[in-house]
Structure 1
Amino acid sequence: MEEFAGDQISERLMSGDLDMGISYRPAIPHGLRFEPLYNEELKLIVASNHPLAKRKRLRMVELNGQRMTLLSPHFSTRQMLDECFEAAGARPQIVAELNAISPMIELVRRTDLCSIVSENALANEPGVKAIPLESPTPVRTPGLLWPPQSERPAASRFMAEIIRDIVRQGIA
């Protein structure tokens, strides 16, 4: 197993260097087959003492001018969030762009910044509050990516079944 950015996964699947990938639904599938595993709602996260921490829900437009840390623009999740901001007419103040979720959560915990992540990424992080977003609600779909050819190696089929079982257990 190796970790790559979504675009690299797609490129390596198309070149035959990978038999299977796990990624979010690609914006441009390039003939790849995508098997969705589940949908996950992204939520605003703030420190427990942040002024927004008392909110039960937040509309995307209310993030206009908010100081935020987000993933770098080359991530598909960030591109989707930018589309949500545009649809809502919100222009947050992006103070820090990072390429990993853990340091984003730590920045939120220790500063007045907020961010948007999946609730799965939080794993009961102390000192951080997750707030549902709406209008629009950012949702992403992780799944299995397969190259266009129909023949799948036995090892890839076996690994895919393990992943599906883990997802079913987590949802049940």
Structure 2
Amino acid sequence: MPQLQPQPSLKQLKYFVAVAHTLNFRRASYQLHISQPTLTNQIIKLEEGLGLKLFERTRNGTMLSPDGRELLKHAEQLLQTMTEFQSVARELAQGPKTTFKLGIPPTLGPYLLPFVLPQLHQLYDKLKFYVRESAPSELHTGLYKGDYDLIISPLAGLPNDFVVEPLFTEPLKLVLSSEHPMSKDLLIEPKHLKGQRILTLEDKHHFHHQVLDICNELGAELQRDYEGTSLDTLRQMVVMGMGAAFLPGLYVHSEMHVPESLHVCEIKNKPILRQHALAWRNTSPSRVFFRELADRFRRIIKARLSHVVEVSTP
């Protein structure tokens, strides 16, 4: 019966990867904070246990052998998996005690996060968010690159290779100047939007394309020459009678509670909605906690904003 070879230890794999990256035993031992003889001895034991030569040692230096090149990617994957395992175990044992980079669109962040983050802080007193605002397409790219740990984004358009947890659905409200002929109606007949001038944001925002689709469907005229740079500028252009605008329900709830020269209404029998989701990379070591976080988001939003939005079912 053949004798079983000893399994490589994680320490040996770590040493192997360090030498493979530096191709220099002296530099690798310095990076690992061990002596060079100790490193050499562990690599020899690893090679003996595998029955393979991982490195070629020549007068000109150290090179990976063909077998070493093939095994390197597998060793790196094993070490990465163990790092993620330890991170998840630490979070489960101690709770989150770190800072996450959160990305969110500027048409949502200021009108959602003040209702959510204070209560999250009460639940997780060591948890912190570094929040940055950007257009959804830029958020998706940033999440891929690691600029963000997680993002809140419109559900439509999110790449399939992200882990996605729907959070809530938000209505879009039609906002008119108080001097507009339809400003006395709470429900506007869809046919009455035909030919109406509609203002919106720049086309880098997902919000822009949603409003464009509405205008094309109802025959309204999107004012491309007067695109707003923010929801506030859009509102001010409506006040000045430059056109009507569709504004997110959370913005209306948060920023338009003081009476002004505006009228908020909806299109009859045609709710216009946008759905938001929390998303992260499927390789994130914090993915277990992120699912818990999505559930916390939904509970807080339901408790504080259910009169404005509809919370998604997990």
TM superposition score normalised by structure 1: 0.83
Q: Deviations over 1:99-143 (max 9, x none)?
A: 210111122123252100123212324222111124643210122
Segment of structure 1 superposing worse, 62-71 or 41-50: 62-71
Q: Percent identity?
A: 21
The answer (yes or no) to whether the contact 1:32–1:146 under 8 Å persists in 2 is: yes
Other-structure match for 2:221? 92
Specify the code of the residue in structure 2 equivalent to 1:92: E
Other-structure match for 1:82? 212
User: What is the distance in 2 between the residues matched to 1:112 and 1:144?
Assistant: 35
Q: Kindly tell me: are residues 65 and 152 of structure 1, through their superposed partners in 2, closer, same or farther at Cα, counting changes over 3 Å?
A: same
Q: Kindly tell me: are residues 51 and 100 of structure 1, through their superposed partners in 2, closer, same or farther at Cα, counting changes over 3 Å?
A: same
Other-structure match for 1:149? 283
User: What is the distance in 2 between the residues matched to 1:37 and 1:109?
Assistant: 32
Whose Rg is larger?
Answer: 2
Among 259, 268, 280, the residue aligned to 1:126 = 259
Other-structure match for 1:167? 301
The answer (yes or no) to whether the contact 1:119–1:130 under 8 Å persists in 2 is: no
Q: Kindly tell me: are residues 116 and 107 of structure 1, through their superposed partners in 2, closer, same or farther at Cα, counting changes over 3 Å?
A: same
Other-structure match for 1:10? 140
The answer (yes or no) to whether the contact 1:13–1:21 under 8 Å persists in 2 is: yes
| Alpha-carbon distance, 1:144 to partner | 0.9
- Unaligned segments of structure 1, at least 5 residues: none
User: What is the distance in 2 between the residues matched to 1:34 and 1:99?
Assistant: 28
Q: Deviations over 1:39-79 (max 9, x none)?
A: 11111101222211112212444322212321112211121
User: What is the distance in 2 between the residues matched to 1:65 and 1:122?
Assistant: 24
Q: Deviations over 1:130-169 (max 9, x none)?
A: 1112464321012212123253268856765653343122
User: What is the distance in 2 between the residues matched to 1:102 and 1:40?
Assistant: 18
User: What is the distance in 2 between the residues matched to 1:59 and 1:71?
Assistant: 24
Specify the code of the residue in structure 2 equivalent to 1:54: K
Among 106, 129, 137, the residue aligned to 2:236 = 106
Q: Deviations over 1:8-60 (max 9, x none)?
A: 11111112221100121142525222222111111110122221111221244
User: What is the distance in 1 between the residues matched to 2:236 and 2:258?
Assistant: 9
User: What is the distance in 1 between the residues matched to 2:190 and 2:162?
Assistant: 32
User: What is the distance in 2 between the residues matched to 1:52 and 1:118?
Assistant: 20
User: What is the distance in 1 between the residues matched to 2:288 and 2:158?
Assistant: 27
Segment of structure 1 superposing worse, 157-166 or 127-136: 157-166
Q: Quick one: higher RCO (CA 8 Å, sep 6+), 1 or 2?
A: 1
User: What is the distance in 1 between the residues matched to 2:191 and 2:284?
Assistant: 44
Other-structure match for 1:34? 164
The answer (yes or no) to whether the contact 2:165–2:291 under 8 Å persists in 1 is: no
User: What is the distance in 1 between the residues matched to 2:265 and 2:211?
Assistant: 15
Specify the code of the residue in structure 2 equivalent to 1:34: V
Segment of structure 1 superposing worse, 24-33 or 151-160: 151-160
The answer (yes or no) to whether the contact 1:19–1:153 under 8 Å persists in 2 is: no
The answer (yes or no) to whether the contact 1:61–1:85 under 8 Å persists in 2 is: no
The answer (yes or no) to whether the contact 1:42–1:138 under 8 Å persists in 2 is: yes
Specify the code of the residue in structure 1 equivalent to 2:220: R
TM superposition score normalised by structure 2: 0.48
Q: Kindly tell me: are residues 168 and 135 of structure 1, through their superposed partners in 2, closer, same or farther at Cα, counting changes over 3 Å?
A: closer
C-alpha RMSD over aligned residues: 2.5
More helix as a share of residues: 2
